[in-house]
């Protein structure tokens, strides 16, 4: 009997370590559920990533769907699915060069118990299956400009041949390891720029929606009104910063221009520091 009480005491002491949910449910994603507005897609294509949620319960099911590309955050959407309902969720994504593993997860899953009261639930299917895609670099074919003047065509042809010869000379003089390193670095920088640009654009849209919801909400009490007054300016500051980041990273000219400028001042500072 003494051993039984000791075992029971140990079991109870371990309970706080685990998060206890009021209920488990099979609400969530339809199994293997990720698809695209364009498939297959190429570098630079603007693609919508879709998934579908279902709710077999009689209560409203809500939470947040977060989309990932491997460990990279792509975007998130709040959702609410009515009783025994189905709802599709999507985000915008610009395809970048490389291997991608797209999937979605549900966080903060809960059922609406009564007005303003929710019950957290454990989901059996809180993540979609991984959707793997490989995006190769888009090759844009060069088309010669059509002109009526024969002499102009000859000049353009001669110029294009000179440029082609110069390219071959550089290619012949550049070691393979250097060429591959340059290409790899440029692809990494471009992928980083596009990922940050997509993230800031999606976050900016989310903030805009939240601000629209705050404007449309009717304040039920003085406390709610003061909370909105504090929250609204903070969101406007956040929206301004995200808009600035989105403008810089979604504009190649601005991004690379600033990068060159920063690199120049940094190198000049190091030069003066050393010499």
- Helix/strand/coil (H/E/C) assignment for every residue in 22-35: CEEEEEEECCCCCE
* Number of residues assigned to the chain: 275
Residue 244 shares a structural domain with residue 147: no
State residue 62 phi and psi, 5-degree precision: -140, 170
Domain range for 266 = 175-274
Q: What is the pLDDT of residue 165?
A: 56
**3: in domain:** no
- Residue ending a domain, among 84, 112, 135, is 135
pLDDT at position 69? 92
Is the pTM higher than 0.85? The answer reads no
Q: Is 33 among the domain residues?
A: yes
Phi, psi of 101 (to 5 degrees): -125, 100
pLDDT score, position 12 = 42
Report pLDDT for 66: 94
pLDDT at 270: 87
| 216 and 268 share one domain | yes
For position 49, what pLDDT does the model report?
Answer: 93
| 28 phi, psi to nearest 5 deg | 140, -140
Distance, CA of 206 to CA of 200 (rounded, Å):
10
Beta bridge partners of 53: 29, 87
Structural domain tally of the chain?
A: 3
In the block, tokens 């970048």 appear at 96
pLDDT at 91: 93
Q: Are residues 162 and 199 in the same domain?
A: no
Distance CA 107, CA 53 (A): 13
- pLDDT tens for the chain, residues 1 to 275: 444 444 444 444 444 433 444 455 656 676 667 889 988 888 889 999 999 888 888 899 999 999 999 999 999 999 999 988 899 999 999 999 999 999 999 999 999 988 889 898 888 778 888 999 999 887 777 665 544 555 555 544 554 455 455 445 545 555 555 555 666 677 778 778 888 878 888 888 888 887 777 777 655 555 555 555 667 777 788 888 888 888 888 888 888 888 888 888 888 888 888 87
- Distance between CA atoms of 162 and 247, rounded to whole angstroms? 37
Last residue within a domain, chosen from 79, 112, 135: 135
Distance CA(216)–CA(79), nearest Å, equals 18
CATH number at residue 36: 2.60.40.10
- Residue 50 has a pLDDT of 92
């Amino acid at each position: 009997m003494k051993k039984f009480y000791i075992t029971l005491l140990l079991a109870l002491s371990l309970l706080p370590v685990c998060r206890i949910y009021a209920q488990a449910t099979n609400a969530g994603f339809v199994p293997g559920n990720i698809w695209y507005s364009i498939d297959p897609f190429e570098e630079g294509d603007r693609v919508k990533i879709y998934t579908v949620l279902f709710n077999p319960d009689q209560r409203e099911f809500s939470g947040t769907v977060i989309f990932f590309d491997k460990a990279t955050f792509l975007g998130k959407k709040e959702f609410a699915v009515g009783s025994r309902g189905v709802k599709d969720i999507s985000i915008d994504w610009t395809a970048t060069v490389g291997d991608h593993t797209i999937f979605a997860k549900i966080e903060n899953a809960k059922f609406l118990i009564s007005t303003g009261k929710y019950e957290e639930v454990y989901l059996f299917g809180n993540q979609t299956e991984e959707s793997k895609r490989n995006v190769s670099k888009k090759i844009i074919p060069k088309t010669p400009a059509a002109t009526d003047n024969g002499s102009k065509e000859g000049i353009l042809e001669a110029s294009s041949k000179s440029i082609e010869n110069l390219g071959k000379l550089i290619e012949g003089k550049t070691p393979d390891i250097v060429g591959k390193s340059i290409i790899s670095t440029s692809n990494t920088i471009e992928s980083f720029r596009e990922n940050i640009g997509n993230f800031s654009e999606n976050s900016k849209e989310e903030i805009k929606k939240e601000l629209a919801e705050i404007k449309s909400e009717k304040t039920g009490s003085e406390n709610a009104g003061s909370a909105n007054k504090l929250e609204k300016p903070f969101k406007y500051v956040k929206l301004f910063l995200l808009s600035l980041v989105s403008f810089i990273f979604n504009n190649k000219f601005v991004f690379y221009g600033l990068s060159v400028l920063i690199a120049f001042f940094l190198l000049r500072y190091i030069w003066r520091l050393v010499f």
